[in-house]
Structure 1
Amino acid sequence: MNYLSKMLKTAVATIVAVAFCIPAAAQETIKIGLVAPMSGAFALYGQGFHHSMQAYMANYGDTVAGKKVEIIVRDNTTSTPENAKRLAQELVNRDRVDFLAGFALSPDALAVASLATQAKKPTIVMLAAASGLTGKSPYLTRVSYSNAQTSVTMAKWAYKNGVRKVYTMVSDYAPGIDCEVAFQKAFESLGGKVIGNSRMPLANLDYSPYVQRLKESGADAAYLFVPSGDPMVSFMKNYVERGLPQAGMKLLTTTDLAEEYIKPMGETAVHITNTIQYYDTLDNEENTKYKAAYLKIAGKNPGAIALGGYDGMAAIYEVTRKLDGKLDPEKVMAAMKGMKIKSPRGDLTIDPDTRDAVANMYVAKIEKKGNQYVPVVIDTFVGVKEGQ
């Protein structure tokens, strides 16, 4: 037998052996397909998910129910729904993942909902905050929050604290409009009044004309929703330059106030009153463990966006333990309903009816402590459900 024949025979034997080994190997590994922007404009979102997932594994191990956990990352660098769906399809068909996870933006999650249903693939939404999202597929579970939860909480806090006239300002896309509608409905049901509104282009970074309209509105406060990062930095610059803090105009927001988003705002951040599901300043044992692991991996503290990765992993580990590693999709989704998760935000429950997160919503002011600006919680709304 010549060299070429020997090589061919060896190659065939190897292929056959590998083919026989694949099912057994697959059974011993839990694959999680992470679809999120790891580069581009929203890179911090996807990187935060991944760092948090790694932090959870650092704290609780890389095996559960005797099976190795593997994260397969797909970069939705374009942050488009079409690309998110294509990447999710690839993870389902080629990589044979047990769970899909991630989805920073609501259009991405909405695009993948039909695929999750068709493939019967349990899908963990780690951020996308569109109201009613989990109703789009019986295979979706959200561990973050909805826009309605944050905006309704802010409406209740504002009225409770003497605000009666509000001007709303939101980025003109689905999440912004979600927030505007939910805030107005809740605020006016309590007896307050929304006296005007501005819907601002999502890509806009010059808010001066909108801030001028706010200044002339006669409102007690503004309710603002723009994406974290550069939009908030630009808005705050315009807000201060137009003298609104000196005029007594309160600013109510619902955004992530991780240190990477607060720092660029500088001293303008002290004018913000914010509500969200998590701040890194929360004082509890799980948050201490989370921050320590995250800091070691990412070199900074986590924020409300990144937290979805940690809570998503907690949900996956918990359901895997409950089912002793036998991840039948129907049983996974049944086990998700009503699940309680120990989270750095405090207690987290998956609503048995909607598969949405039920958890505390915190209201915070930004204060300067030493050389840093940090969120300080001033009120807590316990066990908030979407639509409450």
Structure 2
Amino acid sequence: MRMKSVLTGAITALSLMTAAVPAARAEDPVKVGVVIPLTGGFQSNGRQINAALKAFVATHGEKAGGKQVQFLVKDDGSVPDNALRISQELVTNDKVSILTGFGNTPTALSVAQLSKRAKIPQVIMVAATSSIMKASPYMLRTSWTIPQVASAIGKWAPENGAKKFVSVVSDYGPGKDAEEWFAKTIEANGGTVISKLKVPLANPDFAPFLQRAADEKPEALFVFVPTGAGAAFMKQFVERGLDKSGIKVIAMADVTDDDLLNSMGDPAIGVITGGPYSTNHDSPENKAFVEAFKKNNDGMRPNMVAAAAWDALDLIYKTLDKTKGEADGDTFVEAAKGMQIASPRGPISIDPDTRDIVQDIYMRKVERVGGELYNTEFKTYTAVKDPAAQ
């Protein structure tokens, strides 16, 4: 009820604002509201996004489409109600033309109706639940979808020595997507999921779920937890002795987050994951991206969230270049459809039918390279669309 009342108030205020404010002048800057979790449970995503923004502006400047671009960064604390309130303030008070960020699915969804009613482009940097794109025709996504990644893992696993799985996922939208699409794909390719375990999202204790999984005696665990929680999972995996049990971990990329991988140490070596990006992806674009990111962030290592944020900013700039600085919702979204970008992760594009990302998905293995741990890519599934949208 509270969410409904907040949204109703937001839409009412927005209607008044729209009637009262004259059209933007040609010399006005394009203001972009960046709504991200700098605190709270998803703060590691906010940290990577903020670092990517800093590096991108340092590299590309503050102009696109002949206009100055101003970024207004706001912390939503990982809370959907905060994201809605902040986004409303950005639209009504700060007169932003574009909203971006959104470090998880609930915050992205909380703003979708505002985006739809106000005709404000909402460029999703992280939120990965497939269905959110249906919530607003002004959404564009540059991150990934859970079904894109989970289905690639489901294809690879039964062909490569692991057919009998227990799935362990965080109990929220992306976790449910991961569980569903991994099971659906692996079963279509001759494998099976003998048990499906859901772990609470807040303050998870993986130990009892790992014990239950071990009791099932699978060949491998399929795992999805949000970026940042992978270190705790791997720590408890080792503490339960499962690293010596012969049970493999084949997981979504969040588990071996590039930003935290070195802190996981030797227990992470050999873990196989599927994902859209690795810090040591071999391309000129990625070499330049990693160099700029580290240079502007005290040597910090970028992860797939940073790559997605960088691509969101690149999409915004390239779209503004295409529209000559015009940022009204219909013009901007139409111009962004079909956009192709040479990303640090490889070629990406925006599907003109779904406004969602099309990209390569990689199978990776944690290895020690030059004294550091990296997710080394060894197989590529090219130009993957979201299978849930087909």
TM-score by length of 2: 0.90
Amino acid paired to 2:375? P
CA offset digits 1:264-294 (Å, max 9, x no partner): 2111111411111111101111111111111
Tell me the equivalent position of 2:61.
61
Of stretches 297-306 and 47-56 in structure 1, the one that deviates more from structure 2 is: 47-56
Which residue, out of 239, 242, 245, partners 1:241? 239
Tell me the equivalent position of 1:146.
145
Amino acid paired to 2:297? A
Which stretches in structure 2 are left out of the alignment for 5+ residues? 1-22
Tell me the equivalent position of 1:166.
165
Tell me the equivalent position of 1:11.
none
Q: CA deviation at 1:201?
A: 1.3
Q: CA deviation at 1:136?
A: 1.0
Q: CA deviation at 1:23?
A: 5.4
Q: CA deviation at 1:328?
A: 2.9
Amino acid paired to 1:247? S
> Is residue 258–residue 278 contact of structure 2 (8 Å, CA) maintained in 1?
no
Change (3 A) 1:109 1:288: same
Q: CA deviation at 1:258?
A: 4.2
Q: CA deviation at 1:253?
A: 1.0
> Is residue 162–residue 220 contact of structure 2 (8 Å, CA) maintained in 1?
yes
Q: CA deviation at 1:370?
A: 4.0
Tell me the equivalent position of 1:104.
103
Change (3 A) 1:328 1:265: same
Tell me the equivalent position of 2:12.
none
Q: CA deviation at 1:28?
A: 3.3
Q: CA deviation at 1:362?
A: 1.0
> Is residue 99–residue 121 contact of structure 1 (8 Å, CA) maintained in 2?
yes
Q: CA deviation at 1:103?
A: 0.2
Of stretches 108-117 and 157-166 in structure 1, the one that deviates more from structure 2 is: 157-166
Q: Equivalences for 1:1-388 in 2 at 5 Å?
A: 24=25, 27-77=27-77, 79-229=78-228, 231-256=229-254, 257-299=256-298, 300-387=300-387
SS at match of 1:215: helix
Query: Which structure is larger by alpha-carbon Rg, 1 or 2?
Result: 1
> Is residue 245–residue 271 contact of structure 1 (8 Å, CA) maintained in 2?
no
TM-score by length of 1: 0.90
> Is residue 121–residue 332 contact of structure 2 (8 Å, CA) maintained in 1?
yes
SS at match of 1:51: helix
SS at match of 1:114: helix
SS at match of 1:362: strand
SS at match of 1:235: helix
1:64 & 1:306 partners in 2: Cα distance? 21
Amino acid paired to 2:267? T
Q: CA deviation at 1:203?
A: 2.3
1:260 & 1:104 partners in 2: Cα distance? 16
2:368 & 2:359 partners in 1: Cα distance? 27
1:308 & 1:138 partners in 2: Cα distance? 20
Amino acid paired to 1:157? W
Change (3 A) 1:27 1:221: same
2:341 & 2:100 partners in 1: Cα distance? 17
1:328 & 1:198 partners in 2: Cα distance? 44
Amino acid paired to 1:366? V
Tell me the equivalent position of 2:8.
none
1:172 & 1:43 partners in 2: Cα distance? 19
Change (3 A) 1:379 1:105: same
Q: CA deviation at 1:335?
A: 1.1
* Alignment RMSD (CA, Å): 1.9
CA offset digits 1:117-150 (Å, max 9, x no partner): 0100011000000112111110000000011111
Q: CA deviation at 1:342?
A: 1.8
> Is residue 205–residue 235 contact of structure 1 (8 Å, CA) maintained in 2?
no
> Is residue 59–residue 289 contact of structure 1 (8 Å, CA) maintained in 2?
no
Q: CA deviation at 1:171?
A: 1.1
SS at match of 1:302: coil
Q: CA deviation at 1:30?
A: 1.3
SS at match of 1:228: coil
Amino acid paired to 1:280? T
Aligned identity (percent) is 37
1:205 & 1:46 partners in 2: Cα distance? 20
Q: CA deviation at 1:66?
A: 1.6
> Is residue 346–residue 359 contact of structure 2 (8 Å, CA) maintained in 1?
yes
Which stretches in structure 1 are left out of the alignment for 5+ residues? 1-21
2:278 & 2:259 partners in 1: Cα distance? 12
1:234 & 1:60 partners in 2: Cα distance? 36
1:330 & 1:172 partners in 2: Cα distance? 35
Amino acid paired to 1:116? S
Amino acid paired to 1:191? G
Tell me the equivalent position of 1:16.
none
CA offset digits 1:140-172 (Å, max 9, x no partner): 000000111111111111122132111100111
